[in-house]
Structure 1
Amino acid sequence: MPQITDERITDHPDVADVTLQGVLEALVDPVRRSIVRQLAEAGQDIRCGTFDISVTRSTGTHHFKVLRHAGIIRQYYEGTSRMNTLRREDLESVLPGLLDAILAAPDVVH
Protein backbone atom coordinates (compact mmCIF):
# COMPACT_ATOMS: atom_id res chain seq x y z
CA MET A 1 0.00 0.00 0.00
CA PRO A 2 1.37 3.46 -0.84
CA GLN A 3 2.53 5.79 1.89
CA ILE A 4 -0.52 7.89 2.80
CA THR A 5 0.74 11.27 3.89
CA ASP A 6 -1.63 13.54 2.00
CA GLU A 7 -3.00 16.23 4.30
CA ARG A 8 -5.90 17.14 1.98
CA ILE A 9 -8.18 14.31 3.15
CA THR A 10 -8.28 14.31 6.94
CA ASP A 11 -11.66 12.86 7.90
CA HIS A 12 -10.85 9.14 7.99
CA PRO A 13 -12.11 7.59 11.22
CA ASP A 14 -9.68 5.77 13.45
CA VAL A 15 -10.18 2.01 13.31
CA ALA A 16 -11.46 2.12 16.91
CA ASP A 17 -14.31 4.35 15.74
CA VAL A 18 -15.53 1.99 12.99
CA THR A 19 -18.89 0.54 14.02
CA LEU A 20 -21.11 -2.24 12.75
CA GLN A 21 -24.01 0.17 12.40
CA GLY A 22 -21.95 2.68 10.43
CA VAL A 23 -20.61 0.04 8.04
CA LEU A 24 -24.03 -1.53 7.47
CA GLU A 25 -25.68 1.87 6.92
CA ALA A 26 -23.01 2.75 4.35
CA LEU A 27 -23.35 -0.56 2.52
CA VAL A 28 -27.13 -0.57 2.31
CA ASP A 29 -26.85 1.48 -0.89
CA PRO A 30 -26.20 -0.59 -4.07
CA VAL A 31 -23.88 2.05 -5.58
CA ARG A 32 -21.67 1.98 -2.51
CA ARG A 33 -21.67 -1.84 -2.49
CA SER A 34 -20.62 -1.69 -6.14
CA ILE A 35 -17.70 0.62 -5.30
CA VAL A 36 -16.57 -1.75 -2.55
CA ARG A 37 -16.92 -4.80 -4.83
CA GLN A 38 -14.89 -3.10 -7.56
CA LEU A 39 -12.13 -2.25 -5.08
CA ALA A 40 -12.08 -5.79 -3.71
CA GLU A 41 -12.00 -7.35 -7.18
CA ALA A 42 -9.31 -5.00 -8.48
CA GLY A 43 -6.91 -5.91 -5.72
CA GLN A 44 -5.32 -2.47 -6.06
CA ASP A 45 -6.17 1.16 -5.41
CA ILE A 46 -8.47 2.82 -7.94
CA ARG A 47 -8.93 6.45 -9.04
CA CYS A 48 -12.39 7.92 -8.39
CA GLY A 49 -13.10 8.59 -12.07
CA THR A 50 -12.53 5.00 -13.17
CA PHE A 51 -15.26 3.24 -11.19
CA ASP A 52 -18.18 1.84 -13.16
CA ILE A 53 -21.03 3.64 -11.40
CA SER A 54 -24.03 5.22 -13.09
CA VAL A 55 -24.40 8.39 -11.05
CA THR A 56 -23.39 12.00 -11.53
CA ARG A 57 -19.97 13.13 -10.39
CA SER A 58 -21.40 14.99 -7.38
CA THR A 59 -23.48 11.98 -6.34
CA GLY A 60 -20.41 9.77 -6.73
CA THR A 61 -18.47 12.15 -4.48
CA HIS A 62 -21.20 11.77 -1.86
CA HIS A 63 -21.01 7.96 -2.02
CA PHE A 64 -17.23 7.99 -1.59
CA LYS A 65 -17.58 10.32 1.38
CA VAL A 66 -20.10 8.01 3.07
CA LEU A 67 -17.77 5.03 2.58
CA ARG A 68 -14.82 7.04 3.91
CA HIS A 69 -16.70 8.25 7.00
CA ALA A 70 -17.84 4.69 7.74
CA GLY A 71 -14.20 3.55 7.68
CA ILE A 72 -14.64 1.26 4.67
CA ILE A 73 -12.29 3.08 2.30
CA ARG A 74 -9.32 5.38 2.63
CA GLN A 75 -8.74 8.12 0.07
CA TYR A 76 -5.51 9.87 -0.79
CA TYR A 77 -4.10 11.87 -3.66
CA GLU A 78 -1.57 10.62 -6.15
CA GLY A 79 -0.71 13.80 -8.03
CA THR A 80 -4.12 15.21 -8.93
CA SER A 81 -5.93 11.86 -8.84
CA ARG A 82 -7.99 10.93 -5.81
CA MET A 83 -7.22 7.31 -5.10
CA ASN A 84 -9.32 4.82 -3.13
CA THR A 85 -8.20 1.83 -1.13
CA LEU A 86 -10.31 -0.70 0.73
CA ARG A 87 -9.57 -0.76 4.47
CA ARG A 88 -9.82 -4.54 4.51
CA GLU A 89 -7.38 -5.17 7.38
CA ASP A 90 -8.99 -2.48 9.56
CA LEU A 91 -12.49 -3.84 8.92
CA GLU A 92 -11.37 -7.40 9.60
CA SER A 93 -9.85 -6.35 12.92
CA VAL A 94 -13.08 -4.79 14.24
CA LEU A 95 -15.75 -6.73 12.32
CA PRO A 96 -14.21 -10.13 11.47
CA GLY A 97 -15.74 -11.79 8.43
CA LEU A 98 -18.27 -9.05 7.70
CA LEU A 99 -16.66 -7.68 4.55
CA ASP A 100 -16.16 -11.15 3.07
CA ALA A 101 -19.78 -12.04 3.85
CA ILE A 102 -21.03 -8.88 2.18
CA LEU A 103 -18.85 -9.43 -0.88
CA ALA A 104 -19.98 -13.07 -1.16
CA ALA A 105 -23.70 -12.23 -0.91
CA PRO A 106 -25.66 -11.84 -4.14
CA ASP A 107 -26.42 -8.21 -4.87
CA VAL A 108 -30.19 -8.32 -5.36
CA VAL A 109 -32.01 -5.00 -5.55
CA HIS A 110 -35.81 -4.98 -5.24
Structure 2
Amino acid sequence: MTAARQSERGRVPPHPDVRAISTQQVLEALVDPVRRRIVGELHAAGEDLSCGTIDLPVSKSTATHHFHVLREAGLIRQYYVGTSRMNALRREEFEEVFPGLLGALVTGHARESDVGDRA
Protein backbone atom coordinates (compact mmCIF):
# COMPACT_ATOMS: atom_id res chain seq x y z
CA MET A 1 0.00 0.00 0.00
CA THR A 2 1.39 3.42 -0.90
CA ALA A 3 2.15 6.03 1.75
CA ALA A 4 -0.55 8.32 0.32
CA ARG A 5 -3.13 5.52 0.53
CA GLN A 6 -2.17 4.73 4.15
CA SER A 7 -2.46 8.41 5.06
CA GLU A 8 -5.89 8.58 3.42
CA ARG A 9 -7.15 5.53 5.37
CA GLY A 10 -5.89 7.00 8.63
CA ARG A 11 -8.17 10.01 8.10
CA VAL A 12 -11.36 7.95 8.30
CA PRO A 13 -12.34 7.05 11.85
CA PRO A 14 -13.54 3.51 12.53
CA HIS A 15 -17.25 2.82 12.03
CA PRO A 16 -19.16 -0.05 13.59
CA ASP A 17 -21.21 -2.51 11.61
CA VAL A 18 -24.80 -1.32 12.14
CA ARG A 19 -25.92 -4.95 12.55
CA ALA A 20 -23.70 -5.19 15.66
CA ILE A 21 -25.32 -2.16 17.33
CA SER A 22 -27.90 -2.81 20.04
CA THR A 23 -31.23 -1.02 20.22
CA GLN A 24 -30.16 0.16 23.67
CA GLN A 25 -27.05 1.87 22.26
CA VAL A 26 -29.09 3.62 19.56
CA LEU A 27 -31.70 4.84 22.03
CA GLU A 28 -29.02 6.08 24.44
CA ALA A 29 -27.38 8.00 21.59
CA LEU A 30 -30.67 9.58 20.60
CA VAL A 31 -31.82 10.58 24.08
CA ASP A 32 -29.74 13.76 23.93
CA PRO A 33 -31.43 16.71 22.18
CA VAL A 34 -28.14 17.92 20.64
CA ARG A 35 -27.61 14.54 18.98
CA ARG A 36 -31.23 14.45 17.78
CA ARG A 37 -30.66 17.90 16.30
CA ILE A 38 -27.55 16.67 14.44
CA VAL A 39 -29.45 13.70 13.02
CA GLY A 40 -32.41 15.93 12.10
CA GLU A 41 -30.21 18.44 10.29
CA LEU A 42 -28.36 15.72 8.37
CA HIS A 43 -31.69 14.18 7.38
CA ALA A 44 -33.16 17.53 6.29
CA ALA A 45 -30.05 18.49 4.32
CA GLY A 46 -30.19 15.30 2.27
CA GLU A 47 -26.42 15.54 1.81
CA ASP A 48 -23.26 15.16 3.84
CA LEU A 49 -22.42 18.13 6.07
CA SER A 50 -19.23 19.21 7.76
CA CYS A 51 -19.27 19.49 11.54
CA GLY A 52 -18.94 23.27 11.38
CA THR A 53 -22.01 23.78 9.20
CA ILE A 54 -24.36 22.37 11.84
CA ASP A 55 -25.17 25.14 14.30
CA LEU A 56 -25.06 23.65 17.79
CA PRO A 57 -25.55 25.33 21.19
CA VAL A 58 -22.45 23.65 22.65
CA SER A 59 -18.67 24.12 22.59
CA LYS A 60 -16.57 22.58 19.82
CA SER A 61 -15.20 19.88 22.13
CA THR A 62 -18.70 18.96 23.32
CA ALA A 63 -19.92 18.84 19.71
CA THR A 64 -17.03 16.50 18.90
CA HIS A 65 -18.21 14.21 21.70
CA HIS A 66 -21.78 14.20 20.34
CA PHE A 67 -20.58 13.33 16.81
CA HIS A 68 -18.46 10.51 18.30
CA VAL A 69 -21.46 9.05 20.17
CA LEU A 70 -23.55 9.11 16.97
CA ARG A 71 -20.76 7.44 15.00
CA GLU A 72 -20.32 4.71 17.63
CA ALA A 73 -24.09 4.11 17.58
CA GLY A 74 -23.92 3.54 13.82
CA LEU A 75 -26.06 6.56 12.93
CA ILE A 76 -23.44 8.57 11.04
CA ARG A 77 -20.37 7.94 8.93
CA GLN A 78 -17.51 10.44 9.14
CA TYR A 79 -14.73 11.13 6.67
CA TYR A 80 -12.44 13.98 5.73
CA VAL A 81 -12.47 16.27 2.72
CA GLY A 82 -9.32 18.33 3.09
CA THR A 83 -9.44 19.57 6.68
CA SER A 84 -13.23 19.30 7.04
CA ARG A 85 -14.72 16.34 8.85
CA MET A 86 -17.83 15.39 6.92
CA ASN A 87 -20.85 13.61 8.36
CA ALA A 88 -23.19 11.32 6.46
CA LEU A 89 -26.40 9.86 7.85
CA ARG A 90 -26.27 6.07 7.37
CA ARG A 91 -29.92 5.96 6.20
CA GLU A 92 -29.98 2.78 4.13
CA GLU A 93 -27.85 0.69 6.50
CA PHE A 94 -29.78 1.92 9.52
CA GLU A 95 -33.17 1.33 7.90
CA GLU A 96 -32.25 -2.31 7.21
CA VAL A 97 -31.53 -3.01 10.87
CA PHE A 98 -33.95 -0.60 12.58
CA PRO A 99 -36.82 -0.15 10.10
CA GLY A 100 -38.84 3.00 10.64
CA LEU A 101 -36.85 4.24 13.64
CA LEU A 102 -34.96 7.00 11.85
CA GLY A 103 -38.09 8.32 10.15
CA ALA A 104 -40.00 8.34 13.44
CA LEU A 105 -37.14 10.12 15.17
CA VAL A 106 -36.88 12.83 12.52
CA THR A 107 -40.65 13.36 12.46
CA GLY A 108 -40.79 13.58 16.25
CA HIS A 109 -37.82 15.96 16.40
CA ALA A 110 -39.39 18.25 13.78
CA ARG A 111 -42.67 18.29 15.71
CA GLU A 112 -40.84 19.16 18.96
CA SER A 113 -38.97 21.96 17.18
CA ASP A 114 -42.20 23.38 15.77
CA VAL A 115 -43.83 23.37 19.21
CA GLY A 116 -40.75 25.04 20.72
CA ASP A 117 -40.78 27.75 18.03
CA ARG A 118 -44.43 28.59 18.76
CA ALA A 119 -43.97 28.75 22.54
Provide TM-score, normalisation by structure 1: 0.89
Tell me the residue number matched to 1:94: 97
SS of the residue aligned with 1:9? Answer: coil
Structure in which a larger fraction of residues adopt helix: 2
CA contact (8 A) 1:6 1:77 kept: no
Which structure has the greater CA radius of gyration?
Answer: 2
Tell me the residue number matched to 2:26: 23
User: For 1:1-110, what aligned pairs fall within 5 Å after superposition?
Assistant: 6-105=9-108, 106-107=111-112
RMSD: 1.6
Cα displacement string for residues 43-84 of structure 1 (whole angstroms, at most 9, x for unaligned residues): 000000110111000000000000000000000001111000
Count of residue correspondences = 105
Tell me the residue number matched to 2:3: none
Q: Percent same amino acid at aligned positions?
A: 58
Shift of 1:17: 1.1
- Match of 1:107, as an amino acid? E
Stretches of structure 1 that go unaligned for 5 or more consecutive residues are none
The ranges of structure 1 where at least 4 consecutive aligned residues each deviate by more than 4 angstroms after the TM superposition are: none
Shift of 1:21: 1.0
**2: CA distance, partners of 1:81 / 1:62:** 16
